[in-house]
Amino acid sequence: MSIPATFRAFRIHHSDGHRAGIEAVSLDDLSPGEVVVRAEWSSVNYKDALAGTGEGKILRRFPLVGGIDVAGHVVASTDPRFREGDPVLCTGSGLSETRDGGYSEYVRLQADWTIPLPAGLGLREAMVLGTAGFTAGLSLLRMEQNGQVPAMGPVVVTGATGGVSMLAIDILSRAGYEAHAITGKFEHLDFLTRLGARQVINRKDMHWGPRPLETALWAGAIDSVGGDTLAGLTRVIHPYGNIASCGLAGGHALNTTVMPFIIRGVSVLGIASAGTARAQREQVWERLAGPWKPAHLDAICTRETTLDELPQVFPTMLAGGSFGRTVVRL
């Protein structure tokens, strides 16, 4: 398949301030990589919104094409593991951080970070999941590696209407857990229940209590909010439960005590999706395409957008107004 001399990409600059938008780029403009992919789908994550608006320091060099996720078909590869026509995906792995990302009609990927699309997933489905789904899956994988099992009791998900969290609720239900949800958008109670949340708690009604150890409420947690929410969670998790700390939508500070750790054996597990090693990455994608495949991907994908519309999508997300996942049709 021939690759056009130039194609469209959403590129981010930082000279004389932040500037981002659609440009015509060529393959040679992109970071080097063994695998050239005709990108078909990408997605919008909180990190993309930070990078695309310049509100957060995500890019470590400039200019770069934005987009931390991409899925498409291989058009050329110098690595024998990939052949023309293979469906592949890549999430994190330096995209839109140190390398040109997925908001581009063609991308150049490093073979070691390129994942063959697992059987059971379509390209668009892979991007409804994207970094958000991968992060939710990695959270549960790490919790189970540290002893979490459904019989221990319910697992709570915070920031429930966000992309990571909606997928986490669905994944937990698929994996046999009783999922509970805490949300600031209680009007979406019915939707969260449909995803599998057996209890939905209004963030406003959640009082964590001031003591280092409060009455234990949940066997584990997947937390995309951070700040006071994460601190509160440490005080209410059952003995030997796990908290997967994967986000900071509500703040990055953590003010707690060691009591939950040394009295209840609670673990806070760090979830860093972008740099996850390949073996673990493959395990997560196998589960996401198989036993943990969310049952409500169509409902969770609330918006399909284009490269041109990205500047309108980002600010809503940063203002906490997101609801579900947005995929980008390339």
Which residues form the interface with ligand NAP (CB under 6 A)?
Answer: 45-47, 131-132, 135, 159-164, 183-185, 203, 224-225, 246-250, 271-274, 317, 320, 322
Rounded to the nearest whole angstrom, what is the least distance from the CB of residue 281 to ligand NAP in the complex? 12
Rounded to the nearest whole angstrom, what is the least distance from the CB of residue 243 to ligand NAP in the complex? 13
* Residue ranges in the chain assigned as alpha helix (H): 46-53, 123-145, 163-174, 189-195, 227-235, 259-263, 278-289, 297-300, 310-318
Rounded to the nearest whole angstrom, what is the least distance from the CB of residue 325 to ligand NAP in the complex? 7
Question: SS3 letters for 209-223?
Answer: CCCCCCCCCEEEEEE
Nearest one of 219, 75, 214, 96 to 152, comparing CA atoms? 219
- Closest residue to ligand NAP, judged by C-beta, is 162
Provide the β-strand partners of residue 245: 223, 270
Show the tokens assigned to 111.
């073979």
H/E run at residue 237: strand 237-245
CB nearer ligand NAP, residue 76 or residue 137: 137
Show the tokens assigned to 328.
């980008």
Q: Supply the DSSP symbol for 104.
A: B
CB nearer ligand NAP, residue 132 or residue 179: 132
Does residue 227 sit in helix, strand or coil?
A: helix
Rounded to the nearest whole angstrom, what is the least distance from the CB of residue 264 to ligand NAP in the complex? 24
Would you give the distance in Å from CA 103 to the centre of its chain? 16
Strands, E, within 26-86: which ranges? 35-44, 64-65, 69-77
CA–CA distance, 282 with 288 (Å, rounded to integer)? 10
Q: Are the CB atoms for 31 and 108 separated by under 8 Å?
A: yes
Residue 292, amino acid: W
Rounded to the nearest whole angstrom, what is the least distance from the CB of residue 26 to ligand NAP in the complex? 30
CB nearer ligand NAP, residue 87 or residue 251: 251
Rounded to the nearest whole angstrom, what is the least distance from the CB of residue 300 to ligand NAP in the complex? 11
Rounded to the nearest whole angstrom, what is the least distance from the CB of residue 77 to ligand NAP in the complex? 27
CB nearer ligand NAP, residue 25 or residue 244: 244
CB nearer ligand NAP, residue 150 or residue 227: 227
CB nearer ligand NAP, residue 114 or residue 224: 224
Rounded to the nearest whole angstrom, what is the least distance from the CB of residue 110 to ligand NAP in the complex? 19
Q: Are the CB atoms for 63 and 57 separated by under 8 Å?
A: no
CB nearer ligand NAP, residue 110 or residue 302: 302
CB nearer ligand NAP, residue 104 or residue 131: 131
Show the tokens assigned to 137.
């899956």
Show the tokens assigned to 133.
């789904």
